[in-house]
Chain A
């Protein structure tokens, strides 16, 4: 342990110029990432970004976490990190509520708590680094599809479960967005639900095509839905004729982008999400910010960021993945 600190200190000295650029963040801040699940490509990518940021400000970082995404598995990790006297915990919560009493205890003992990807109740953390606002996520998907179908034709949504909070918020934004004049020739004919189940999403997509033969495009704002829908389309006569977009991961969608089933889809960049979360944690630990609305801090290559309402920091617009860039991502 001591040895590692020494090595890092030496490293920091040689990289003095870099360290000086991160003025205000003391060296050696310990930051622990606690994802919902380790060995999950999404979180591994987020950690890659988090780690890169920690290196930039010469902190000491690590990622720990359960191998199952069970609601309570994270609690024992929080307690362990507390016992290890980490300065900051960056957590993606498996359960919005179960972690709160334990995170509160951590905060009482001076640990800074940042949530990323998946938030807890606001009194259980200092900051939430959000991937994107509901507005952006809903609007960007409509824009993306509109371009792919030349702003006209029947469209449908293939969502997760009928009561999925995220998806419903995004769909509502989509419906509002469609009222704008530029979308007057686009008509949302159906919202189908694949329950985030691969097979159900597959058959729902099939059903959509049978019920609406004139369908021009489908938005599936869920990674399970979009990949199942893409699988159906790529083996059907609709391949390349019906546009499909939504939220997916590059690894799931790569073959469908390459074989022409999907032109482009979107998601936030998890690497940047982790990067921003690390800087937010460091800014809290070093006392540059306390988590109040309107405070600002520097987040390395992502520039200056401002804390919004309820301690939420928004990463920014979605990243669109298509033939030109998909091979640069692995998650």
Chain B
């Protein structure tokens, strides 16, 4: 009984990892420049913001909540970073304040969800608009671009002597921390319990409200970090940075096998999904496949992500029912 969800999960993850391998193979056949260090470096740095936010989004969705305001927090934090830098604030302080703003934005989300008992879907649709509006209030339609190369290199550059983008290293570290926190700590187990059955979790003494508040703060904080990466990577602080990114993040999380109803999912599946989407898009772009087709492919992948685990579950249920039926029949005979 307890073993089954784990097994299906591994099944979906294995399938995803297989698909990633297949996509890598397909990409190298499509274009000879695909499997070059430079291209793989571009590929991974293109998806780093999505990958970063997907980590905390995984936690949020496993706890049966959602945060749609992440891309707007990126925009707002990017705008703040731009305003602070333009006003002559020292970079370390500006970065710190940017992270504080992200955490505060997440706290507002979490407070509205937990203290007022509002659904996170509604709350974060609201703050999606609110935070983007604040981004424009902060920076207008200006762009701040004169960040010093010392800092933009952190977003744009690679680890000396390799072609590994620096932000990807940060992502790897954060991914390990998230995976450990989710899969090997009481905090992680609490998330699964809350997502699977909130009432039961409450009765077993879990501090549901507090856990959720922490999740939203983490989500805001991660979005602020992604905002810093984004701003440095494009050397451009703008209020419209990362518009629509929340959909790419949620797409990756769902494709990664995290149940939209909570209680199920893993970090490795989500990471595989982020890279699968990134690899497919990169390979098709290299092969000059038009953008419309790319969008269609991404859409189909998403449908597959909802359909795949569901179909698997249904097939299994039918099989079990049959097995059960034949077993009882056998007993009667």
Contacts of B234 in A (CB 8 A): 71-72, 75, 95, 97-98
Q: Please, what's the 1-or-0 string for A92-107, where 1 marks a CB less than 8 Å from any CB in chain B?
A: 0001111011000000
Q: Measured between alpha carbons, how far is A308 from B73 in the docked complex, in Å?
A: 43
What is the size category of the interface that chain B forms with chain A?
20 to 34
Checking B34, B143, B152 against A101 with a beta-carbon cut-off of 8 angstroms, the contacting residue is B152
Q: Measured between alpha carbons, how far is A38 from B294 in the docked complex, in Å?
A: 13
**B235, A98: Cβ atoms closer than 8 Å:** yes
**A71, B240: Cβ atoms closer than 8 Å:** yes
**A96, B143: Cβ atoms closer than 8 Å:** yes
Q: Measured between alpha carbons, how far is A137 from B124 in the docked complex, in Å?
A: 45
**A72, B241: Cβ atoms closer than 8 Å:** yes
**B285, A82: Cβ atoms closer than 8 Å:** no
A66 within 8 A of B: yes
Q: Measured between alpha carbons, how far is A84 from B42 in the docked complex, in Å?
A: 13
Query: In whole Å, how far is B286's beta carbon from the nearest beta carbon of chain A?
Result: 5
**B285, A64: Cβ atoms closer than 8 Å:** yes
**A83, B240: Cβ atoms closer than 8 Å:** no
Query: In whole Å, how far is A124's beta carbon from the nearest beta carbon of chain B?
Result: 11
B46 within 8 A of A: yes
Query: A67-B291, A84-B31, A84-B33 are contacts. A101–B145 as well, Cβ < 8 Å?
Result: no
Q: Tell which of A76, A83, A100, A163 has the most Cβ of chain B within 10 Å.
A: A83
Contacts of B295 in A (CB 8 A): 67
Checking B143, B243, B288 against A64 with a beta-carbon cut-off of 8 angstroms, the contacting residue is B288
**A83, B143: Cβ atoms closer than 8 Å:** no
Query: In whole Å, how far is B30's beta carbon from the nearest beta carbon of chain A?
Result: 11
Q: Tell which of B31, B145, B234, B244 has the most Cβ of chain A within 10 Å.
A: B234
Query: A70-B243, A80-B285, A98-B236 are contacts. A38–B290 as well, Cβ < 8 Å?
Result: yes
Residues of chain A at interface, number, CB under 8 A: 28
**B236, A97: Cβ atoms closer than 8 Å:** yes
B320 within 8 A of A: no
**B141, A161: Cβ atoms closer than 8 Å:** yes
**B236, A95: Cβ atoms closer than 8 Å:** yes
In the complex, besides A97-B236, A98-B235, 14 extra interface pairs with C-beta distance below 8 angstroms are A39-B292, A62-B288, A70-B240, A71-B236, A72-B230, A80-B285, A82-B38, A83-B38, A83-B39, A83-B42, A97-B234, A98-B145, A101-B156, A163-B141
Binding site for A on B (CB under 8 A): 31, 33-34, 36, 38-39, 42, 46, 140-141, 143, 145, 152, 156, 230, 234-236, 238, 240-244, 282, 285-286, 288, 290-292, 295
- 16 examples of A-B residue contacts, CB within 8 angstroms: A38-B291, A64-B285, A64-B288, A67-B292, A71-B234, A72-B242, A75-B46, A75-B234, A76-B285, A83-B34, A85-B33, A95-B236, A97-B143, A98-B234, A163-B140, A163-B141
Binding site for B on A (CB under 8 A): 38-39, 62, 64-68, 70-72, 75-77, 79-80, 82-85, 95-98, 100-101, 161, 163
